Every structure is written in C-alpha cells, then in structure tokens.
Structure 1
Amino acid sequence: MFYRIVHSVLKPLTHAVYRPTIEGIDNVPRSGPVILASNHLSFIDSFVIPLAAPRQVAFLAKAEYFTGTGVSGTIRRELFEAVGAIPVDRDSSRAAQQSLQAQLDVLRAGGATGIYPEGTRSRDGRLYKGKTGVAWLALEARCPIVPVGLLGTEQIQPVGASLPRLAKVVVRFGTPIQVGDRFDDVPAGRARRELTDEVMTAIQALTGQEPAGVANDRSTQ
C-alpha cells in the first residue's frame, strides 16, 4: 500500500519536473517474473527505473542506504523501502548471496526485480564487465532479462552533490533476452558468464557507453 501511495505521487511529479524520455516500455512484461538489468550511473537510478517501469520493480541497494541517520538518512531509508529495495551488504559474500536469494523469491512469486550487473555505479561513465548474479537469477527462475539503458542520471545528483538537480534523463528498455533451455547443456559457470556478457552487450547497445573491459573495482568507489 505504501508503495502504491508513494508511486502514485512521485511518478507524475517527477515526470512533470524532469520530463524523462522513456523508450521501449512495451518490452517490459506486465506480469510474470522478469529481471530488469541496467547500467549504473547514480544512486538515483534505483528510483528512476521503478518510476519509469509499468510495474513494481524490487532493486538491490547497498545496506548503507538503510542505516543513515538524521533527517536525510531517514528520508532516504523510507524512500528505498517505499520502492521495494532489498538491502545488500556488499562487504559480505554470504549476505550478497542472501540478497540474490531474496530477489529469486520475488521472481518465483511472479514479480519483477532490478539489478545492476556492474555491481556498483560507474564513476567515469564507462560500462564495466558484468558480474554473473544476473545470469544466476535468470537461469534459476527461468525468466527473461530486459536490458535497460540509462542516460543522464549521473547529472541529477553528481557525486558530492547534496540536492538533486534538473537534468535530461533517458530510460531505454531493450528487447527481452529469453533464457528458456538455451543453456541446459552448458556448464553452469560458462552459462552464467555467456549470458551475463550477452546482457552487457545489449545494455551497451542501448547506452553507447565505452566498454571498460574490466570489472568495476569497488575499492575506488
């Protein structure tokens, strides 16, 4: 109920203020399990996609977003909870797997989840190599992956900025990548890597970002 209330208020408000360009919205299935896999430029991405998508999307979000103090911390925590975000402790591999399991539970219940295969946001605008959690989810749930390309979100709240700014935002939903039985005879590790690379190629086609060719090193974030 809280999600519906917040969504009904924020969606028309943000669309009126930012006037985002939303493309390919018909590529998002209106029902059934689906993964929205996006590039990651700003912490605000986890609001932009749910407010652009035609259905509720549960995103992983770093645990720090749920533990902030003061007025700003409380507001941020409430907003992330309102859009159905799932906290993940990025410093614990076990906690990360538990968070993926929480997303798998959403998928098995017929819901939609969102994930950033890069793992963390890009600070230089390049598209980094995807981590294989997105493929693990899709292969376990036997569900499609919709690649998502975001443009301009890093300008809404640049690193170091305390308040959001006006910026031109584009959200592109790509053609769903069907999993089906394509990887039934492929070793699990290779299947996850191949599917993840396919997703990242589709995202790059939507954004035009320069591929970094390496994983995003969170130690520099």
Structure 2
Amino acid sequence: MPVLYWWLKYVFVGWWLRLIYRPKVEGLSNIPKTGPAIVASNHLSFSDSIFLPLVVPRKITFIAKAEYFTGSGVKGLFSRFFFTGVGAIPVDRSGGRAAAGALETGKRVLAEGELFGIYPEGTRSPDGKLYRGKTGVARLALESGARVIPAAMMNTGELQPIGKKLPKIGRVHIKIGEPIDFSRYSGLAGDRLVERAITDEIMYELMDLSGQEYIDTYAAKFRNAAAAESPQKETPAAS
C-alpha cells in the first residue's frame, strides 16, 4: 500500500476534508474488515474518488481514466502525483484490450485480499441521473468470486458539478449497501446475458440506495447524443 495514500488520507488532506464536509455515512459496517470485495459506486462528481475512500477505513484501489496520468503542466503534474500516489489504475476508456487490462489488474488487487473500487456507469452522470452500467463489474465479480458492495454518493454532484474545480461547502452524504454474493452464477463468466443480469442487479441496488432516476442507456452515449442535438449557432445572413 502506497505510503502516500495514508499520508493524504489522514495527514495532508483527510483531516480538513472531514472538518469542512462532515461526511455522513450510512451502512459503513457493510464494508468487511478483511478480505476482497468490489465497491461499486454511482458517479456524480470528480470528488467521489476522494470522499468515498476518505470514509472507508480500508484502502480502496480505483481505476481512473488515463488522461489523469498524462496531463501536462502544473495541473497535469498534480493530477499524476495524486492518482499515482493513491494507487489508482489508469484505464483507456476507449474500451477493448486496454479496458480488459484494467480489469485484470482489478483481479490482482482482489486476489491480494484488497478492496477494488469501480464506477459501473463508466463516467460521471451528465445530469444527476443513474445510467446503465457496463458489464465489466459483473465479469470482475464472476472471475474473482468477490462480493459486490453498492455505494451511493448522494449529493456530491450538487457540491461539485461537472466543470467546477472545487466542491462547495456542504455536508457529504454516502450510503453503503449490503454485500451482494453472485456465487450462484459461478462458472458463467463470459455469458453476456448473465453478466448483464448481474450488472442490472447492481444498478438496481444503487438506484434503491441513491433514489436516482434510472435511465436505461449508457451515460457516454446520452452525452454524445445530447451534444449532437444541441442547436448550432447560426451565422447571420449577409445584408
């Protein structure tokens, strides 16, 4: 476990975040004290990756988009320092072989008896609603045998909307559900119908915990479609 993770959590960042944002956590006892588990969370804000690890006593290893590790300038240097220090795993969100590599790393983390964090939606919600989950979380659960713990970030999207560099002052609220055991599907990794059923069950639990409206389409697809449909500025006609 990187020393920087614990230094950031308890010394450099954690104490004042707890003081300012006073996290309210329900269901923290659902996080096992030992052993592997997948923490599957909805994704409302950049700060989800800060506040969820802050309140969980054990270290959570998350995947993070590759851009956080390749930026330039002071901002890029800080981002790379932070995400590398907390043990995040870079993933190319274009999918395919790169995404499979991140899941293989997740299996290694779980094999070592640790907690692995993942956002099944694959990206932040564009409007605060809960979107269709990608089946990587199901594949990971089936191949590792680890239980899945749903974690709902309740108001981080209001405190730090997309585009805002720093969250507003307010109390963070998080709900953690009971672990879900998918051992009844043992041996069925690779079955698309099974993996979709598992993913949908996880998303239903997140919907129940968070109270979010569920949209049965991928968040990235919705965002791209909305961008394509937005009216273009018309060029004034020549007089």
User: What TM-score comes out, normalization by structure 2 length?
Assistant: 0.87
Aligned mates of 1:127, 1:85 — CA distance in 2: 23
- Kindly tell me the number of residue pairs found equivalent between the two proteins: 220
User: What is the DSSP-based 3-state SS (H/G/I as helix, E as strand, rest coil) of the residue aligned with 1:217?
Assistant: helix
Aligned to 2:231: none
Native 8 Å contact 1:145 1:177 kept in 2? yes
Say if 2:223 is the partner of 1:216: no
Match of 2:71 among 64, 68, 71: 68
Question: Aligned Cα RMSD in Å?
Answer: 1.7
Give the alignment of 1:91-130 within 5 angstroms. Answer: 91-130=94-133
Aligned to 1:6: 8
- Cα 1:70–1:175 change in 2 (3 A) is same
Aligned mates of 1:167, 1:89 — CA distance in 2: 33
User: What is the DSSP-based 3-state SS (H/G/I as helix, E as strand, rest coil) of the residue aligned with 2:74?
Assistant: helix
Deviation by residue 1:145-201 (Cα, 9 ceiling, x = unmatched) = 000000111233322223332133211110100122x11375722221111111001
Say if 2:40 is the partner of 1:40: no
Q: Alpha-carbon deviation of 1:92? A: 4.1
User: What is the DSSP-based 3-state SS (H/G/I as helix, E as strand, rest coil) of the residue aligned with 1:30?
Assistant: coil
Stretches of structure 2 lacking an aligned partner (at least 5 in a row): 228-239
Write the letter of the residue equivalent to 2:44.
L
- Cα 1:155–1:70 change in 2 (3 A) is farther
Native 8 Å contact 1:47 1:83 kept in 2? no
Say if 2:39 is the partner of 1:16: no
Aligned to 2:236: none
Aligned mates of 2:83, 2:66 — CA distance in 1: 10
Tell me whether 38-47 or 68-77 shows the greater mean CA deviation.
68-77
Q: Alpha-carbon deviation of 1:18? A: 0.4
Write the letter of the residue equivalent to 1:96.
A
Write the letter of the residue equivalent to 1:6.
L
Native 8 Å contact 1:3 1:83 kept in 2? yes
Larger-Rg structure? 2
Native 8 Å contact 1:25 1:53 kept in 2? yes
Identical aligned residues as a percent: 45
User: What TM-score comes out, normalization by structure 1 length?
Assistant: 0.93
Stretches of structure 1 lacking an aligned partner (at least 5 in a row): none
Q: Alpha-carbon deviation of 1:70? A: 2.1
Match of 1:87 among 85, 90, 106: 90
Say if 2:158 is the partner of 1:155: yes
Aligned to 2:232: none
Aligned mates of 1:192, 1:163 — CA distance in 2: 36
Native 8 Å contact 1:130 1:197 kept in 2? yes
Write the letter of the residue equivalent to 1:74.
L
Write the letter of the residue equivalent to 1:184.
S
Aligned to 2:178: 175
Q: Alpha-carbon deviation of 1:132? A: 0.6
